[in-house]
Amino acid sequence: MPKPSARISGIIPSGKDGWEVHFAAMTRKEAGEPIIMLSVGDHDFDTPSETIEACVTAVRGGYHHYTQLPGIPRLRQAMAKASTRCTGVETNADQIIATPGGQLALYAAVQATLDKGDHAVVVAPYYATYPGTFRAAEADFTVVEARAEDGFQPRAEDIEAALRPNTKAILINTPNNPTGAVYSRESLQALADLCIRRDLWLLSDEVYWTLAEGHHVSPRALPGMAERTLVINSMSKSHGMTGWRIGWLTGPESMISVLISLNLVTTYGLTDFVSRAATEALENDYGVKVIADIYNGRRTLFLDAVSGLNNIVVRGSEGGMYVMLDVSAIEHDDEKFAWGLLDAEKVAVMPGSSFGDAAKGHVRISLCQPDAILLDAATRLRRFASSYRSKAA
């Protein structure tokens, strides 16, 4: 039979990537084991009821048809208002294109800025889909690790050392998944200076911004950056809408107008009734403060519960839905540590090395569980770490 294209076959190369711990834990949980799942970032609560009712009303109102390619006007206006708040730069609807989820916004940004054979720099630790998204564009990329000892803040000099003559873009993620690090204004200014000096695009994944509002800084707000920054955003985390697949890309009007052609040949627009529910959610901030308060409270709760645990150090963890723990003084092999924790205490976490070399020796803790379960998991982690040290002694 005919073979699939090399382009598609090469998006996700074969081999171990650390997600085996998560998949094994899921299988065991489905088989009846009482596994505490702290390995995935999906809310443990439903979409706010107001958003659900808005969707039901739209379905019953007959909104079942094709929509405009860049998104219905009212949705784009609501997204522009959210982007103004997120980035600190006044944004209009013509600077917005709506997409089915933040991943498609990322895909659009990469397709828009890189041709086949072009080069990009990806700052790690990174979200798991970043490498495959560049491979789908047949673009080369170099991973530059933000260092654990810096609290996972990126160093512009390390990024500049990785640039090539054909480098077109840099991709960052703040607040960061997996580390929870919120990039400082100083770190971002150094990146902005580099982008301006070398005439580069900056792709900024800011989907967790509402979980760090008040100390989140968007590079789009820095002098000279609005014309060269594409901001990836999503309603999944901020509005509790992971399965609704609503995201958007913010950028210069000239870039957004070109990107409408990509929607023509990929999504052909968004679902009408979902778009209208999303519009109401954006206009009314359904769930935003409640969700942010939940995760800020859980972060404090969990970090307090593991505070003082010998030989475990917190890295990053200022925002988002995750806590990153350095366990290298106990076990340098983070995957081995994660498997051991799963087997001994029935707690599933992600090995840090799944997200890049900088996170080796760390484990990522998802905060997508109620307080009582997080406290139970912290107790189990404390017990496991103590016994692990005694075994290694």
pLDDT of residue 233: 98
Whether 54 is in a domain gets the answer no
Confidence band (pLDDT; 50, 70, 90) for 16? low
pLDDT of residue 19: 77
233 and 319 share one domain: no
pLDDT of residue 355: 85
Read off the amino acid at residue 327.
V
Whether 343 is in a domain gets the answer yes
21 and 106 share one domain: no
Task: Express each pLDDT in 70-98 by its tens digit.
Answer: 999 999 999 999 999 999 999 999 999 99
Domain boundary residue, one of 269, 284, 299: 284
260 and 331 share one domain: no
Sheet bearing 322-326, strands edge to edge: 313-315, 322-326, 362-366, 350-351
Whether 142 is in a domain gets the answer yes
pLDDT of residue 390: 44
Query: In this structure, what CATH number is given to the domain that contains residue 274?
Result: 3.40.640.10
Domain boundary residue, one of 259, 284, 309: 284
Domain boundary residue, one of 284, 308, 327: 284
pLDDT of residue 308: 86
Six-digit token string for 156: 């512009």
> How far is 85 from 386, CA to CA, in rounded Å?
45
103 and 248 share one domain: yes
Whether 91 is in a domain gets the answer yes
Query: In this structure, what CATH number is given to the domain that contains residue 309?
Result: 3.90.1150.10
265 and 298 share one domain: no
188 and 219 share one domain: yes
210 and 345 share one domain: no
185 pLDDT more than 50:
yes
Q: Which domain range does residue 276 map to?
A: 65-284
- Of 66 and 357, more confident: 66
317 and 275 share one domain: no
Whether 217 is in a domain gets the answer yes
169 and 132 share one domain: yes
pLDDT of residue 369: 97
Whether 163 is in a domain gets the answer yes
182 and 313 share one domain: no
Whether 58 is in a domain gets the answer no
pLDDT of residue 18: 65
Whether 392 is in a domain gets the answer no
82 and 180 share one domain: yes
pLDDT mean over 196-215: 96
260 and 150 share one domain: yes
Cβ neighbours of residue 134 closer than 8 Å, sequence gap 6 or more: 110, 114, 120, 122, 140, 141
The number of domains in the chain is 2
What's the per-residue H, E or C state across the chain? CCCCCHHHHCCCCCCCCCCHHHHHHHHHHHCCCCCEECCCCCCCCCCCHHHHHHHHHHHHCCCCCCCCCCCCHHHHHHHHHHHHHHHCCCCCHHHEEEECCHHHHHHHHHHHHCCCCCEEEEEECCCCCHHHHHHHCCCEEEEEECCHHHCCCCCHHHHHHCCCCCEEEEEEECCCCCCCCCCCHHHHHHHHHHHHHHCCEEEEECCCHHHHCCCCCCHHHCCCCCCCEEEEEECCCCCCCHHHCCEEEECCHHHHHHHHHHHHHCCCCCCHHHHHHHHHHHHHCCCHHHHHHHHHHHHHHHHHHHCCCCCCEEECCCCCCEEEEECCCCCCCHHHHHHHHHHHHCEECEEHHHHCHHHCCEEEEECCCCHHHHHHHHHHHHHHHHHHHHHHC
